[in-house]
Amino acid sequence: MTTVTQEPKRKNFLVRFFTMDTSGSKGGSEKLPLWRQLGIQLICLMITIGVMFPIMYIITLSFSSKSTRPSSLELFPKEISLVAYQQVLDRPTANPVTFLELLKNSALLSILVGLAALLIAVSAAYAFSRFKFKLRQILMLMVFIPLLMPAVGLVTPLFLLMNSLQVKTCADGAMIIQPFTACDPGTAAKLLFNLRDSLIGVGIAMISTALPFAVWNLKGYLDTIPHELEEAAAIDGADPNQVFFRIVIPLAAPQMAVTFFLGFIGHWQEFVLPWLFLTQPGDYTLAMTLYNMTGQYANSIPWNRFAAMAIIVALPVAIVYILLQKQIVNGLTAGGVKG
């Protein structure tokens, strides 16, 4: 179970990292000798250079107006040109797809999948956390098994099953839904909709891994909420449904936000399923576009455009991380029962 419960811990570290007391006032009265201070500063500076190297490289590239590939190393922008950004926003790929369509596909997928998984997961997490029932252990194991499987391990059956659900028009004009109905054998049929080749299909497939994660994450959090409020409400005559909707959901709201944003960070980068499922350029996501602009697959794409695209794809996740931090701090301090 460790592999699973590590994920929620991660953001706690992030918050603690930023909010912790770094002044060293905890009884550290001895002063640091200057030579040591300088030595450590030198090491820290070298690490900083290492960390900043790819970041500065990509920022410099993105602000360059040169559409040729870089012939020499530049780590500081000589010019601030937004040409590359403008070109990427105008026409991100060779396909007739606008940037807004790509953005809409990525945003819809990551937001709706996260929301759907969350809404379905919260009641299950409540049941696992608060009720004692016969099949509890077995059902919890069933939710855990998909988490063991790497995401790629489920793509084959999802691909095949979704691909078998197709809407077609037959030669005689009747509309059929495979595999439930079929045209007369031997007649031609026109494909109208293939669940596999659609954003809906990709979204449904993404929920299959997002849902178990959301259940575990929320259950782990609900386990840490004290039961006093619920017990008090129960004594006042609230039934379990009222307790769930009036008390547990408001208490779990901060963690639900965190779960949603953690999901968003993952779904925004989702590549495995869309790259396998989707064939129409109009359905492509930003992650797929970025892949198309990289390396040997992109001999004609100027690197300044690639750099601009990389920064555009990275920004929402970076912003969400910063937002996430605030959410967790609130989530930690805004508990209903202190102590």
Partner 1 sequence: MATITVPVKRKFNFKKSFLPYLYLLPAFIVLGVITFYPLIYQVIISFTDFQTKDLLLGLNSPKLNQIGFQNYIDIITGGLPVQNFDFFRVLTYNIWWALTNVMLHVPAGILIAVLLNVNGIWFKKIYRAIYVLPVVIPPIVVATIWRNIFDEQYGAMNQSLTFFSQLFGNVDPIKIRWLFEYQPPIPWLLPNGPLPLAYYAMMIANFWLGWPFMVLVATGALQSIPKELYEAASIDGASKGFQFWNITVPLIRPAMIPAAVYGFTLSFNLFNFVFFMTGGGPARSTEILVTFAYDLVRNLRLYGAAGAFSVIIFFVALTIFLITNRITKATESYTES
Q: In the window 225-284, what residues touch partner 1 (CB under 8 A)?
A: 227, 230-231, 234-235, 239-240, 243-244, 265, 268-269, 271-272, 275-276
Among 179, 226, 250, 282, binds partner 1 (CB under 8 A): 179
Order the strands of the 175-177 sheet from edge to edge.
Answer: 175-177, 166-170, 189-194
Stretch that binds partner 1, among 4-12, 78-86, 91-99, 329-337 (CB under 8 A): 4-12
- Residues from 289 through 328 that contact partner 1 (CB under 8 A): 290-291, 293-295, 303, 306, 310, 313-314, 317-318, 321-322
Q: Rounded to the nearest whole angstrom, what is the least distance from the CB of residue 138 to partner 1 in the complex?
A: 12
Q: Rounded to the nearest whole angstrom, what is the least distance from the CB of residue 98 to partner 1 in the complex?
A: 21
* Residues 322 and 5: beta-carbon distance below 8 Å: no
- Residues from 18 through 57 that contact partner 1 (CB under 8 A): 18, 20, 22, 24, 26-28, 30-32, 36-37, 40-41, 43-44, 47-48, 50-55, 57
Which two tokens mark 158?
Answer: 């999802």
Q: Rounded to the nearest whole angstrom, what is the least distance from the CB of residue 206 to partner 1 in the complex?
A: 10
Cα–Cα distance for residue pair 155/278, rounded to 1 Å = 13
Residue 82 or 148 with smaller CB distance to partner 1: 148
Tokens 């991100």 found at: 92
Residue 43 or 188 with smaller CB distance to partner 1: 43
Residue 232 or 334 with smaller CB distance to partner 1: 232
- Residues from 205 through 224 that contact partner 1 (CB under 8 A): 205, 207-208, 211-212, 215, 223
Residue 82 or 152 with smaller CB distance to partner 1: 152
Among 65, 95, 156, 181, binds partner 1 (CB under 8 A): 156
Is 334 an interacting residue with respect to partner 1 (CB under 8 A)? no
Residue 30 or 90 with smaller CB distance to partner 1: 30
